[in-house]
Amino acid sequence: MRRTGVLLALTAATLSAEASGQTRPGSFISMQIGPNLVTYRTIQGVQLPSATGSGRGTNLGFEPGIAGTVAAGQAFGDGLRAELEASVRSDGFAGSPRATGTELKLGVMANLYYDFDVSRLGLSGMVPYLGGGIGWMRTRWNDVRLSGQGLLLEMNDSVDSLALQGMTGAAFPITDSLSLTTEYRFTALPMDQKFATRLTSMAGTATPMMKITGENNHAVLLGMRYSFGNLLR
């Protein structure tokens, strides 16, 4: 009889947790992919010995690219989740001055999320969330060529930078362990960057450094999250 009472109490607790839509403790892995858009970047100056600051104010545009992330983390059972994430983004140059080449970014981020319980609002089958992260990102310019007014600027260089990001999205449970996720992500490189260049002009060839503003990335991601501890119930 006592055993039956314990079983009934456990069953009631389980059903209560199921109805709440809360996040349960457990480890998880996830992956996402989607389009990425970089807002324009502004050249702060090309550091030539005889003309420091030339090119200042020139805006560089980008074509829409692609972003992908993989992550592993832990849910703590009170709505909070923490994860370590690896990401890749690839975007092409476009616009004026005439620009070709690609920008590849590789990042490692530490993220913290909060999952909202909206079951009390009559919304079931979804778990909206907000998150933020901080980390490191390496920006690689591959075969970048900027040309105009008799000048050719070529770049093949990598720069490491601080990265910050904010996320908002929702998870839609498919099974007890697997969820579909949709997310908007804003990722910023807030610091100016300096790239080594090769400048060719009528006067000859030089190898100045080019200083350029940081960048903002906007991504819309679709993905899957798998919980080893039935993260979403």
Owner of token pair 């720069």:
159
How confident is the model at residue 6, as a pLDDT?
43
Half-sphere exposure at residue 64, Cβ-oriented, CA atoms within 13 angstroms: 6
Q: Please name the helix (run of DSSP H) or strand (run of DSSP E) that holds residue 120, with its range, or none.
A: none
Give the start-to-end residue ranges of the domains of the chain.
Answer: 2-227
How confident is the model at residue 127, as a pLDDT?
93
Look at the alpha carbons of 96, 185, 106, 225 in this order and tell me if their dihedral is positive or negative.
negative
Q: How far are the Cα atoms of 24, 129, 170, 189, 224 from residue 227, in angstroms, in the given order?
A: 10, 16, 15, 31, 10
Query: Architecture of 2-227 per CATH?
Result: Beta Barrel (2.40)
pTM > 0.85: no
Q: Which pLDDT tens digits describe the chain residue by residue (233 residues)?
A: 455 444 444 444 343 334 345 456 899 999 999 999 999 888 887 766 554 445 566 788 899 999 999 999 999 988 999 999 999 999 999 876 688 899 999 999 999 999 998 888 877 889 999 999 999 999 999 999 988 777 888 999 999 999 999 999 999 999 988 999 999 999 999 999 999 999 898 888 888 888 999 999 999 999 999 998 754 44
Please name the residues in contact with 186: beta carbons below 8 A apart, sequence gap of 6 or more.
165, 166, 167, 216, 217, 218
User: Which candidate, 111, 103, 93, 142, places its Cα nearest to that of 221?
Assistant: 111
Distance from chain centroid for Cα 230 = 25
User: Which candidate, 20, 201, 36, 187, places its Cα nearest to that of 109?
Assistant: 187
